[in-house]
Structure 1
Amino acid sequence: MKSIIMPHLARIISSDALLNFKRAVSELKRFSSGQPHVLDVFLHINDPYSYLLLQVLPDLEKRYQVTLRLRAILRTNDDMFPEQEMLSDYAFKDARILAQLYELSFPSEPPLKDINKTILYTNQLIIAESSSNVLRNFNAIFDNYWHSRDTHFNYDNTSDDTVHNNLARNETRLKKLGHYMAGMIHYAGEWYWGIDRLEHLERRANKLGLSTLAKPSIYYNRTHVNACNTFPLATTNATVHPSPLTLFFSIRSPYSHLGLERAVRLAKYYDIALIVKPVLPMVMRGLAVPDAKKMYIFHDTKREANKYGINYGFVADPLGAGVERCYALFDYAESEGKGVEYLLAYARAVNAQGIRSETDKGLKKIVTSCGLDWNTAKSLLAGDSWRLWAEQNLKDMYNLGLWGVPSFQHKNTAVWGQDRIFVIENQIIKDMS
């Protein structure tokens, strides 16, 4: 019964109608209480995305009628971040890409890891929260930390107990509001991560009439605004044979669904081959995905899908049997030259059409929709040879310094997340020039 109800419940929860209703209620409460439009900003001193976000907050404050409340945090839930060492190394490199894209300050090398230094600078941030120019002081402290300067903020008469209590207050608030990560903005029930999600906040603020500009604009959309907007050189130069695009993909990952849709568009636009390497979902590899993380990903995928014109929300989770049946038929689909088409049909079915792939009825719809033979497919469902290549695909991904899906590779360029497809596109253009 649960498997029947959940897709319909997911469609309701992710609907634009419900979102607009929640926003209207939030705005009514705010207006009735006479409160300003408050952005709660949660920052961690050694989080590179927090550093970049902090640098653009003066611009947001200038362009919108909002009140910023900066909140430093220190402790995070380790269960939310598998492969923390790999994540830390990758995040620094990834943040450098964003810093270059938006012309922000960022060091060439990460600060040395030192827990005592982290605590010291976090304490400085906590004290700065009550200073006369919070934003300026936060930026100064972050600059000092990230560029290894040892100028310290004046402690004044603030006691250690006060610092400790205020830090605990911030971390409690982050958890109470339903999140687990730094570099986050919370506004009226919704979360916006780093620079990557600021455009969603900009659109919301513009719709509320909060822009101070005569012509409200969207500024933080550089990662995708020019996607597939460069003339495909392959159509004019027959001698160019660009390297293929490889996608590491999980049929259960909502972001993989977006990544596959966008990768198909990119490959078609530049006339290059797309190779998809499926891997097992994290949960089926023994890695935990806590509820708070699942809900954030669900809602974030919905708004990202809307941005790209991709259907999402009528979700029939394929975890378990649905994943295994999907992968059991992938070799068959590949042998028919329909591997990508099959995965695309499967991803749309379980993410946007509410089709329960663990049932024969649902799976038959998926198989036949991409021109495969159901009787042949049904005879192959018991096979498990796919586990060998799924494990090898995972190893290949780890060898690139990546651990999560979707991940993309083109020649020597490898990135994690559908947000970074622009990096791959830039490499493709360079390769074809």
Structure 2
Amino acid sequence: MTLSVDLFFSFRSPYSYLALPKTLKMVADYDVAVNLRPVYPLAVRVPGFFKKTNPQFARYVVLDSSRVAKHENIPFRFPRPDPIVQDMTTLDVAEHQPYIHRLTRLGAAAQLEGQSLAFTSAISRVLWDGSVKGWNEGDHLARAADAAGFDLAAMDAAIAADPDHYEAVIKGNEEAHAASGHWGVPTFVFANEPFFGQNRIDLLIWRMESKGLTRRTA
């Protein structure tokens, strides 16, 4: 029996990106389906989050995520431009957020097609692996989407025609995320039990094995 796991994911979260290689390997090695459910970053979900948290929080995330990437040999560079329009000196978050709204809605569209993990993995590499300058320019995203089996222009057009439909999917994801018992990303949820962090995948596999998880056969 194929087991199912929800993965709550943010396109701005370095740890969400860093979780993808092990997630893809887990899906390749085990009889498990991962339903990636995009949510908005804390900067959008929780107004004033960065002003309320310890000022060392952002600096530590930069240090630690870069360290994790080196340890795991994952190509990594913070996205340029930042998916969130934010003044990192004042920590003010702009009201208009063109990048993260587009990315998260695209993730929701892929979720509706049942292919959100493949789509998000392809798109996230464009943002985070440092291989391109200006991930939002040219055909970088379109080529990544095409490689994952998606037509980016068609997705953008569908979202523009009915943005509320995709916002409703995201809102449902955020409500399910909150109900899971955690607020951060990436959070994996199996049988109503949350596993927070890219470093909890081994623990997640251990738990699923106790519930009958099996390896895939060649």
Q: Normalized against structure 1, the TM-score is what?
A: 0.41
Is the aligned partner of 1:310 residue 2:69? no
The alignment yields a C-alpha RMSD, in angstroms, of 2.3
Residues 329, 380 of structure 1: 8 Å contact kept: no
Q: Secondary structure at the match of 1:415?
A: strand
Of the three residues 174, 186, 189, the one matched with 1:409 is 189
For residue 315 of structure 1, give the secondary structure of its aligned residue in structure 2: coil
Corresponding residue number in structure 1 for 2:169: 389
- Deviation, structure 1 residue 288: 2.4
Structure 1 equivalent of residue 32 of structure 2: 272
1:347 aligned partner: 124
Contact residue 325 and residue 358 of structure 1 kept, 8 A: no
Q: Distance in 1 between matches of 2:139 and 2:2?
A: 40
Distance change (3 Å), C-alpha of 1:401 and 1:358:
same
Instruction: Give the corresponding residue for 2:17.
Output: 257
Q: Which one-letter code corresponds to 2:187 in the other structure?
A: S
The one of 271, 288, 311 aligned to 2:49:
288
SS at match of 1:247: strand
Say whether the 8 Å CA contact 1:242–1:431 is kept in structure 2. no
Unaligned ranges ≥5, structure 1? 1-240
State how 1:108-257 maps to structure 2 within 5 Å: 241-257=1-17
In structure 2, relative to structure 1, the CA distance for the partners of 1:262 and 1:254 (3 Å cut) is: same
Q: 3-state DSSP class of the match of 1:310?
A: coil
User: CA-to-partner distance for each residue in 1:106-158, whole Å, 9 max, x for gaps?
Assistant: xxxxxxxxxxxxxxxxxxxxxxxxxxxxxxxxxxxxxxxxxxxxxxxxxxxxx
Aligned length: 193
Does 1:370 pair with 2:148?
yes
Structure 2 length-normalised TM: 0.77
* Distance in 1 between residues matched to 2:140 and 2:29, nearest whole Å: 31
Q: Distance in 2 between matches of 1:393 and 1:363?
A: 23
Deviations 1:344-363 (A, max 9, x none): 01111111134545446443
- Work out the percentage of aligned pairs sharing the same amino acid: 25
> Partners in 1 of 2:192 and 2:109 — Cα distance?
30
| Other structure's SS at 1:256 match | helix
